[in-house]
Structure 1
Amino acid sequence: MNGNLNMDVIRSALLAGEIDDAYKVIFNAKKRIELYKSTTGDSRYDVYYGFISLIDEVVKGRRSWKDLRSYTDENFEKLSAYVDPDFLESFPYYLFFSIDRYNVRFPYYDGKRCDDR
């Protein structure tokens, strides 16, 4: 499992306004972890799964980017095993920027920046 690759793709897709691409990576990462856990019973990826699930909830508009920030702060040591620590510190702000700029609320995303007419 390469958390850094997943996060880089999600971040770049969100910054470019390609919410569908970001959501595909989120969805696939969640499914891979669910499959791994159901076949092995191993819970080593639970913190990372919680992180990915929270990103999913934020992108869908059900949770706030601040919830992601607090989850990251609470689980920083465990998450740094899967995702670069520098990325963990900055990612909630990238998410905030994307939500603010593109009015992200998947699946009701209209593809326009806010205030564009």
Structure 2
Amino acid sequence: MNMYEILTNFEMSILMGDVDRSYKILDNAKEHYLKRGRENNAAFIDNIIKFLQSELNAQELENELLQKKYRRLLLDDVSDYEDYIKSLVYYLEYSVSRYNIRYPYFDSKRANDVI
């Protein structure tokens, strides 16, 4: 899978509240990229994990992901990289707030989604 497909699967999982699957997607992708020597790709994913662990806030995450070194990762799939990153950060911020995500623990009952 390319980076765009990984992020799309991750976004859909986290927006639906399937946090465990979301983390698994990120962990598997990071491991895959590290095995193949693609540190830049792994660092991109690691920044998202750091946000979920509350090591980065939304503005810091956005600034990190907007760096030039990451632009080529989504060059073929995204027409406007800056807008895509801003929307990704928005979805992450929304999901963290809605499901009270703090890696590796989350409380899905906060949003009254689980009975």
Q: Scaled by the length of structure 2, what TM-score is found?
A: 0.80
- Give the corresponding residue for 1:60: 53
CA RMSD after TM alignment: 2.2
Q: Percent identity?
A: 28
When normalised by structure 1's length, the TM-score is 0.79
1:1-117, aligned counterparts within 5 Å? Answer: 1-37=1-37, 45-75=38-68, 77-81=71-75, 84=78, 85=81, 86-113=83-110
Report the residue type matching 1:19 in the other structure.
Answer: V
Which structure 1 segments of 5+ residues have no match? 38-44
CA pair 16-6 structure 1, distance change in 2 beyond 3 A: same
One-letter code aligned to 1:35: K
Deviates more, 1:20-29 or 1:81-90: 81-90
Instruction: Measure how far apart 1:73 and its partner are.
Output: 1.9
After the TM superposition, list the runs of 4 or more consecutive aligned residues in structure 1 that deviate by more than 6 angstroms: none
Residue type of the alignment partner of 2:22: A
CA positional deviation for 1:114: 5.1
When residues 82 and 51 of structure 1 are mapped into structure 2, their CA distance, relative to the original with a 3 A threshold, is farther
**Cα shift at 1:15:** 0.8
2-structure distance, mates of 1:56, 1:95: 10
Q: Which runs of 5+ in 2 are unaligned?
A: none
Secondary structure (helix, strand or coil) at the match of 1:53 reads helix
